[in-house]
Structure 1
Amino acid sequence: MRNEKRPNIIIFNPDQMRADALAHLGNPASSTPFLDEFSSTDAVSFRNAYCQNPVCVPSRCSFFTGLYPHVSGHRTMQYLLHEEDSTLFSELKEAGYYVWMNDRNDLLAGQASGLEHLHSDEIFFATGQSEGAGPVNKDFRGKPGDKNYYSHYEGRLETDKDGRYISDDDLSVNAAIERLKNPVDDRPICMFLGLMYPHTPYGVEEPYFSMIDSHKLPPRASKGKGKALMQERLRGLMGMQDYTEEDYDQIRTCYLGMCRKVDDQFRRLCEALKEIGEYDNSAIFFFSDHGDYTGDYDLVEKAQNTFEDCLTRVPFLIKPPKGFKTDPGITDSFAELVDFYATAMDFAGVVPGRDQFGKSLAQVLADRNAVIRTEVFCEGGRMPYEYQCDEYHAASGLNGEIPEGSMYWPRQTAQKDDQAHAKGTMIRMGDYKYVHRFGGKHEFYDLNKDPQEEINRYEDPDYQDIIVQMRLRMLDWYQETCDVVPRSYDRRMSAEAMWKRFKKKCPPEAEESIKAMIQEGAGPAKIQAALTKWESIHT
């Protein structure tokens, strides 16, 4: 039985957080005490939740609409949602929710004036307002050619005299708590907190910088055999060949320290909900848009068309609102981030105004052994002719070479290689993962024998039957999800053409009523039936 008052929808969305950053999902070096407690007492944590694209914009355009990136072409960093696109936000706003968000959304086309107001009632702008002084080591990159130049590693950040580092994320969390404590009106709130952390650059202040014990870090994934060409290109361009295991440990502990800060920020938000008596009546979602290499395969940051778990498997925790049955703990049931959209709409009691591909996870939240998906998908990369996927040129309008001083020069340069950046699609079924690429190298991994996806077994004769099965399932999935038919139906004839069709048959006395029927959208059969009835009455 649901509450009479619609539940609040609270969305806490860190950026670039991999699933194994959570201690309760098995990383002995991680420190996420609040999320661990949250998952054991109030929420369900999905061990096998996957994003639908391994970079920010396409992933967000997907999970806020319930559509896969390929459906409408929202699969690049430079093609965001436009006026004709509805989202969870616009639909909940129309249904009577007060929609609050901060400016870190990577979702709506910036050039469309006023677009954000169709999807929100209030936006908090934190960008550029932080009070942090930056890294302690001001020359953290060194000179071009140094091993840290493209490492994204800043290290320890400076704090003020009170031991604080106030980031844009901190300001956004503060603003969100302030709005919860001082609501504008009595509408239920849909709150979206999109954080920057633990997105690169890798940098965090004390005490988080020193919280992680490097001796507890699990082994990194090696460069492996038969891996994607994109990884080879990135390693060559990043120039981190001289990195030692100790160097990688610094990045990894710093990253986990950033995740610990996210844990504290999430705790503060939940405590605020409890303080104002709205925790029970809130559906709370914690998930990331994608993951991060963080040293795996001798790489940092991310790539748009590789699909290892470190990039595609994300934290996904859900606390239902009061009135929904909950079986707290970890579930092994598969989930996709498109399911967030369907689940949030389910909790809100709002029916989507269009078709979508997410599935409500309420059944799994009530019983962690329930299964609603037997496979998950992710996609990325581009076709050879798709120049717009070169995000640097698309964003800046430049036609020349990408400046080597840009921190993203390695990735943006690698993406100019048509073969390295080939469009790819991943399917995971059970313990198997298959990646199909257009014009690139296919991949297949047995995750039971090779959990870190180091050995590409695509050519192994022992796996050919399962590879064929997974390829056919991928084809079925593409056919099932390749487009969305609008729910509004179009006329096949204009009003003028319709009138010309029936003008000769229409007695003068019936012209006014028939023209009115045409303007209202009546079809030929209905108009013919009206004329026949008129004739039977008047003859």
Structure 2
Amino acid sequence: MAKRPHIIIFNPDEMRSSALAHLGNPAAVTPNLDAFAASEAVSFRNAYCQNPVCVPSRCSFFTGLYPHVHGHRTMSHLLRPGETTLLKELKDAGYYVWMNDRNDLTAGQVPGWTESHADEIYYGGQEKQGPGPENPEPRGEPGGKNYYSHYEGKLKLDERGVNYNGDDEVVDAAIACIRDLPEEQPLCMFLGLTYPHAPYRVEEPYFSAIDRAKLPPRIRAADCTGKAKILSEIRKYAGMNDYTDADWDELRAVYQGMCMKIDAQFGRLMAALKEAGIYDDCAIFFFSDHGDFAGDYDLPEKCQNSFEDCLTRVPFLIKPPKGAVVDPGISDSLTELVDFYATAMEFAGVAPSHTHFGRSLRPVLADRGAKVRNYAFCEGGRQPGETHCDEYHLEGGGVASTVTPYWPKQRAQSDDEAHAKGIMICGARYKYISRTLGDDELYDLREDPGETTNRIQDPALTDVLTQMRLEMLKWLQATDDVVPFDHDARFTPEMLWARVRGMVPPEKTDEVKQMIADGINFPMLMHYCRELAGQKKP
């Protein structure tokens, strides 16, 4: 049997695709990822997540299933027993699975369930964390422009001149695992990091390393028409109307600084793999679960049923293991995060234990011009009355506290129309969003990459709209359910015996009951018992 590659998954949280220098951001400082893409990996320019918040996205890319298949579209419905993940499947196939305790994947209330997905879980908080922001009250008073901005700014340094955070601890723990890796056993390592998730805060040298003058133009709400109601509702409650362009640039720069720190941590992990002599034997995946507004549309953070590229298009880089053909660089091939599942399982040589909708990206790794998809999909939102589906810590339909920085979003999501279910379909040029309530959206990404002008009513795009609606319907039909690989019995043993007992001679009773207990299928049982009945003496 050929040696199986190590599977390394580096998963920052809330990192948008445009945060990388090699994907066109002149202010980004991401030298490790840029070099990785230039010489060893394929970086997918058009990779889309399947839900713009954490839990649904992770439940999707670890299973190869879309959020709607099993209803994983909220922050409080995680994978439960009876479902599986890539981590568990690799563990059952003989991989040594290491992960940190950033869950957002498996139901924590089920004893032993999360633990069944890994051989080792690193639980954080074992090391002293760095000090807080230089501004001791970064939010200011209620009603102030920063109160709901998630902006905290520059972090202080400790006596060693660093600000050691939970991500640093996870990376150090992963490096320790690599150094002590058991020989001959393949490793699957999952690092679920926190940065660059809000709040926006970072220390030196990252804080000052971002040149504010090089930040790309920001997409302003005033330049948009026909956008989703959820965006204006969040802006209304956030109270950030006094934010100036300079304020937004500071927030954006800190976000980029957080991405720069992620890049540095990725570089440290890659160096450890090389030092351990296993780098060439690794299939390495770098991707985020979703993006971040980071000032676009005059908003911070994210939203669960809005589908702008800043939220749905994510960095996705893959380095195959030694021996696999690779054409390093940037690929424009459209892909989805469900394709991570298919690709990692293929590299591992493990057959999936369930139906999935991912497509292996190995053809694109070998030829960046190859194409595996015509469309990418993303989904989110809720039905009217589903208050238990309000995203982000608002469980059981409770009323959000105005103290939490997430209150504007939670308050906006209490509006049925604003938080209506939506599905995005994105092709090479056009993006269409269907909503159960409120207006649909249609954008020409070639003419309007910022998605500022909703052209859903434009008669010139009627044919485009009709085609995209048809493609969405076909996708829903193809993915609306899955049939388990294992089969259920139609009858209990008692039912089977009742159906054949009149055909079975007394001396064959024990034999037939044993056949039933062993799981013989109904047609074979009936055939055998009819033969027995034919052999009965008159």
Tell whether the 8 Å contact from 1:128 to 1:168 is kept in structure 2 after alignment. Answer: no
Q: Which residue of 1 aligns with 2:244?
A: 244
Q: Give 1:76-475 correspondences, 5 Å limit.
A: 76-127=74-125, 129-184=127-182, 186-223=184-221, 224-391=224-391, 394-395=394-395, 399=398, 401-475=399-473
Tell whether the 8 Å contact from 2:52 to 2:291 is kept in structure 1 after alignment. Answer: yes
Tell me how far apart the structure 2 counterparts of residues 288 and 392 of structure 1 sit (CA, whole Å). Answer: 18
RMSD in angstroms over aligned alpha carbons? Answer: 1.4
TM-score, length-scaled by structure 2 = 0.97
Tell me the CA shift for residue 391 of structure 1.
4.2
Q: 1:528 aligns with which of 522, 526, 535?
A: 526
C-alpha distance after superposition, 1:149-183 (max 9, x if no partner): 11111100000122100000000000000000012
C-alpha distance after superposition, 1:378-408 (max 9, x if no partner): 000000121211246654x684x32211111
- Secondary structure of 1:357's aligned partner: coil
Q: 1:46 aligns with which of 44, 47, 58?
A: 44
Tell whether the 8 Å contact from 2:49 to 2:290 is kept in structure 1 after alignment. Answer: yes
C-alpha distance after superposition, 1:451-480 (max 9, x if no partner): 000000000000011101101110110110
CA gap of 1:392–1:38, structure 2 versus 1, over 3 A, is closer
- Secondary structure of 1:402's aligned partner: coil
Q: Give the counterpart letter for 1:413 in structure 2.
A: R
C-alpha distance after superposition, 1:32-77 (max 9, x if no partner): 0110000011000000000000000000000001100000001101
Q: Give the counterpart letter for 1:114 in structure 2.
A: G
Stretches of structure 2 lacking an aligned partner (at least 5 in a row): none
Tell me the CA shift for residue 534 of structure 1.
3.5
Tell me how far apart the structure 1 counterparts of residues 103 and 28 of structure 2 sit (CA, whole Å). Answer: 26
Tell me the CA shift for residue 264 of structure 1.
0.5
CA gap of 1:490–1:325, structure 2 versus 1, over 3 A, is same
Tell whether the 8 Å contact from 1:130 to 1:171 is kept in structure 2 after alignment. Answer: no
Tell me the CA shift for residue 111 of structure 1.
1.0
- Secondary structure of 1:284's aligned partner: strand
Q: Give the counterpart letter for 1:349 in structure 2.
A: G
Tell me the CA shift for residue 301 of structure 1.
0.2
Tell me how far apart the structure 2 counterparts of residues 331 and 167 of structure 1 sit (CA, whole Å). Answer: 33
Tell me how far apart the structure 1 counterparts of residues 190 and 88 of structure 2 sit (CA, whole Å). Answer: 13
User: How many residues matched?
Assistant: 535
Q: Which residue of 1 aligns with 2:476?
A: 478
C-alpha distance after superposition, 1:252-300 (max 9, x if no partner): 1111111011000000000100001100000000000000000000001
Q: Which residue of 2 aligns with 1:11?
A: 9
Tell me the CA shift for residue 4 of structure 1.
2.4
TM-score, length-scaled by structure 1 = 0.97
Q: 1:506 aligns with which of 500, 504, 507?
A: 504
Tell whether the 8 Å contact from 1:498 to 1:518 is kept in structure 2 after alignment. Answer: yes
C-alpha distance after superposition, 1:125-164 (max 9, x if no partner): 1148542111000111110011011111110000012210
Tell me how far apart the structure 1 counterparts of residues 346 and 423 of structure 2 sit (CA, whole Å). Answer: 29
- Secondary structure of 1:502's aligned partner: helix
- Secondary structure of 2:250's aligned partner: helix
Q: Give the counterpart letter for 2:172 in structure 1.
A: N
Tell whether the 8 Å contact from 2:382 to 2:389 is kept in structure 1 after alignment. Answer: yes
Tell me how far apart the structure 2 counterparts of residues 512 and 414 of structure 1 sit (CA, whole Å). Answer: 67
- Secondary structure of 1:504's aligned partner: helix
Q: Give the counterpart letter for 2:497 in structure 1.
A: W
Tell me the CA shift for residue 531 of structure 1.
2.5
C-alpha distance after superposition, 1:488-539 (max 9, x if no partner): 1112121111111111111112212221222222233212221243456666
Q: 2:489 aligns with which of 488, 491, 505?
A: 491
Tell whether the 8 Å contact from 2:88 to 2:116 is kept in structure 1 after alignment. Answer: yes
Tell whether the 8 Å contact from 1:44 to 1:328 is kept in structure 2 after alignment. Answer: yes
More displaced, 32-41 or 124-133?
124-133
C-alpha distance after superposition, 1:203-239 (max 9, x if no partner): 0000000001111111111210000000000110111
Q: Give the counterpart letter for 1:16 in structure 2.
A: E
Q: Give the counterpart letter for 1:312 in structure 2.
A: T
Q: Give the counterpart letter for 2:331 in structure 1.
A: T
CA gap of 1:270–1:392, structure 2 versus 1, over 3 A, is closer
Tell me how far apart the structure 1 counterparts of residues 486 and 67 of structure 2 sit (CA, whole Å). Answer: 23
Tell whether the 8 Å contact from 1:103 to 1:127 is kept in structure 2 after alignment. Answer: no
CA gap of 1:143–1:118, structure 2 versus 1, over 3 A, is same
Tell me how far apart the structure 2 counterparts of residues 391 and 423 of structure 1 sit (CA, whole Å). Answer: 12
Tell me the CA shift for residue 487 of structure 1.
1.2
Tell me the CA shift for residue 251 of structure 1.
0.6
Q: Give the counterpart letter for 2:11 in structure 1.
A: N
Q: 1:20 aligns with which of 8, 18, 21?
A: 18
